[in-house]
């Protein structure tokens, strides 16, 4: 099993166009796209780990749940767009239950959160396996065909996905800057006693922050479902890439998330292009280990 997970190469894009490939253009497009996908996937963990300090080892499994929502919508014959609200509802509900039963008791115990969410990850994987079986499911392409971008034919769905991520990210960034919500979450995490003293209901704020984080992970899963193999173990890869992005980028800011995604995506594509897929993977791991060791607060951090 692990071998297949590692070989899957979820984030890698290869456009084979034998006639005339504008190499540099393709490379730039790929790099932008990979960064966007990473941002999409990591956002949920950036919220849950970066803001709440919860090392959610089940993050990838929430992505996986979202992807299975897309599969269910396809099996039921509904419109593909319905997979998005379904993913949000399903992962949000699971998140609410998990927060209330497990996470709430562990906010000040990072090790235990780590282990309990690892157990949760196992549970979700096994639960999905019991319901859907272990094999791969595939979700059909929603927008097949390509669009010309600067003379390079590029898959339409990826382009839509990319634009959606950029729009959502910009929106979130502007909202975060304007509202006091971000300040309140930061206040709650850095000084919970004082936050309560100024009237913040920290219990409820933490709960909804967690639910928001895991439902974005679910949304990411539903959006990515047509591009990847949907299977119970798919979450592991997302989990690790997400942690690496946050480690390199730094916790607690959207800027750090963007930078981390670009670096991890870039290292992966460059090393993969020069050598092979597993070289890309090894390069990402090596970079992350060095960051963990020498610069655990990342490139762009509030600290």
Partner 1 sequence: MAFIHAAKLAALLGLFSVPAVWGSYAAYELGLYLVYGMVGQGIALCWGRAGFLPLGQALFFGIGAYLAGGALTTFGSGWLVLLPMLVAAILIPALLASLVGALVFERQVGSGPYFSLITLALAMLGFQLANSMEWLTGGFNGLSGIPDLLPGVDRFDGLYYVIVGFLGMTTFGLGYLLRTPFGQLLLAISQNEMRLQLFGFRTGVLKACTFAVSAGVAGLAGALYAPHQGIVTPQAVGFLLSAEFVIWTAVGGRAGLAGPVLGAVAIGFLASGLRDTLPYWEAIVALVFIGVVLQWPTGIAGMIQSGWQLWGPDSRHQPAPMRDIALPMPPRRRTPVLQFEDVTVKVGSATILENLSVSIEPRSINCVIGPNGAGKTSALNAMTGSLPITSGHIRWGQRRLQGLRPYAVSALRVGRKLQVPSIFSGMTIGQNLDIALWANRIGLLERLTMTPYRWRTSVLSALEDRFPFLRDGFRMSGELSVGQRQMLDFALTVASEPELVLLDEPCAGLSVEETGRMTEAISELIAELDATGIVIEHDIDVVERLSDRVHVLHQGQLLASGTMAEIRQDPHVQAVYAGGSKV
Partner 2 sequence: MNSKLPELLAVHELSGGYGDIQVVNGISTRVNAGEVVFITGRNGVGKSTIAKLIAGHLPLASGRVMVCDRDVSAIPAHGRRHLGLGYAPQEDVVFSELTVIENLTLSFPSRSLDRYRTLFERFPFLHGRLTQKAGTLSGGEKKVLSFCRAIAENTKLVVLDEPTEGVQPENIATMSAVVRRLTERGRGFLIVEQNLNLIRETANRVHVLDHGRIVFESLNRPGLRDALISRLRL
Binding to partner 2 (CB under 8 A): which residues in 153-182? 180
The interface partner of residue 200, options being partner 2, partner 1, none and the CB cut-off 5 to 8 Å by kind, is partner 2
Candidates 126, 95, 97; CA nearest to 232 is 126
Instruction: Assess 105 for contact with partner 2 (CB under 8 A).
Output: no
Pick one of 191, 286, 289, 296: the residue that binds partner 2 (CB under 8 A).
191
Q: How far is the CB of 4 from partner 1 (least distance, A)?
A: 10
Q: How far is the CB of 101 from partner 2 (least distance, A)?
A: 20
How many CB atoms lie under 10 A from the CB of residue 190? 12
Candidates 222, 176, 203, 216; CA nearest to 71 is 222
140/303 Cα distance (integer angstroms): 44
Q: How far is the CB of 119 from partner 1 (least distance, A)?
A: 4
How far is CA 44 from each of CA 121, 194, 215, 247, 248, rounded to the nearest angstrom? 15, 26, 7, 15, 16
Instruction: Assess 108 for contact with partner 2 (CB under 8 A).
Output: no
Question: Is the Cβ of residue 10 or residue 203 nearer to partner 2 in the bound state?
Answer: 203
Q: Which residues bind partner 1 (CB under 8 A)?
A: 1-3, 6, 55, 102, 105-106, 110-112, 114-116, 118-120, 122-123, 126-127, 129-130, 236, 240, 243-244, 247, 276, 278-279, 281-282, 285-286, 288-289, 292-293, 296
Binding to partner 2 (CB under 8 A): which residues in 194-213? 194-203
Contact (CB, 8 A) for 287 and 259: no
Question: Is the Cβ of residue 81 or residue 194 nearer to partner 2 in the bound state?
Answer: 194
Instruction: Assess 190 for contact with partner 2 (CB under 8 A).
Output: yes
The interface partner of residue 102, options being partner 1, partner 2, none and the CB cut-off 5 to 8 Å by kind, is partner 1
The alpha carbon of residue 14 and the mean position of all alpha carbons in its chain are separated, in whole angstroms, by: 21
The interface partner of residue 302, options being partner 1, partner 2, none and the CB cut-off 5 to 8 Å by kind, is partner 2
Helix then strand count (H, E) for the chain reads 12, 2
| 154, containing H or E segment | strand 152-155
Angle between helices 202-224 and 181-190 (to 10 degrees): 120
Q: How far is the CB of 248 from partner 1 (least distance, A)?
A: 12
Binding to partner 2 (CB under 8 A): which residues in 202-261? 202-203
| 146, containing H or E segment | strand 146-149
Q: How far is the CB of 236 from partner 1 (least distance, A)?
A: 7
Q: Print burial letters for 248-267: b (CB count within 10 Å at least 16), e (below 16).
A: bbbbbbbebbbbbbbbbbeb
User: And the tokens for 301?
Assistant: 């951090």
Q: How far is the CB of 60 from partner 1 (least distance, A)?
A: 12
Interface positions with partner 2 (CB under 8 A): 180, 183-184, 186-187, 190-191, 193-203, 302
């Amino acid at each position: 099993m692990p071998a297949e997970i590692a070989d899957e190469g979820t984030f890698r894009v290869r456009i084979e166009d034998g006639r005339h490939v504008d190499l540099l253009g393709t490379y730039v497009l790929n790099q932008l796209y990979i960064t966007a996908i990473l941002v999409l996937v990591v956002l949920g963990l950036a919220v849950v780990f970066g803001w709440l300090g919860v090392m959610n080892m089940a993050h990838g499994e929430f992505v996986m749940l979202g992807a299975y929502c897309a599969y269910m919508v396809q099996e039921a014959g509904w419109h593909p767009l319905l997979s998005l609200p379904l993913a949000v509802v399903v992962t949000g509900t699971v998140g609410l239950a998990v927060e209330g039963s497990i996470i709430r008791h562990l906010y000040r115990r990072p090790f235990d959160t780590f282990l309990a969410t690892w157990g949760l990850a196992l549970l979700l994987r096994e639960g999905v396996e019991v319901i859907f079986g272990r094999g791969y499911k595939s979700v059909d392409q929603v927008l097949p065909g390509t669009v010309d971008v600067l003379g390079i034919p590029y898959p339409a769905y990826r382009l839509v996905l990319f634009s959606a991520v950029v729009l959502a990210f910009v929106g979130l960034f502007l909202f975060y800057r304007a509202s006091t919500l971000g300040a309140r979450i930061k206040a709650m995490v850095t000084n919970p006693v004082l936050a309560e003293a100024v009237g913040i209901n920290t219990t409820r704020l933490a709960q909804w922050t967690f639910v928001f984080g895991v439902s974005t992970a679910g949304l990411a899963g539903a959006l990515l479902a047509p591009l990847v193999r949907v299977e119970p173990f798919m979450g592991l890869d997302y989990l690790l890439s997400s942690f690496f992005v946050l480690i390199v980028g730094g916790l607690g800011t959207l800027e750090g998330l963007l930078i981390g995604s670009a670096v991890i995506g870039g290292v992966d594509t460059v090393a993969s292009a020069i050598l092979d897929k597993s070289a890309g993977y090894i390069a990402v791991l090596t970079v992350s280990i060095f960051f963990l060791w020498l610069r655990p607060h990342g490139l762009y951090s509030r600290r």
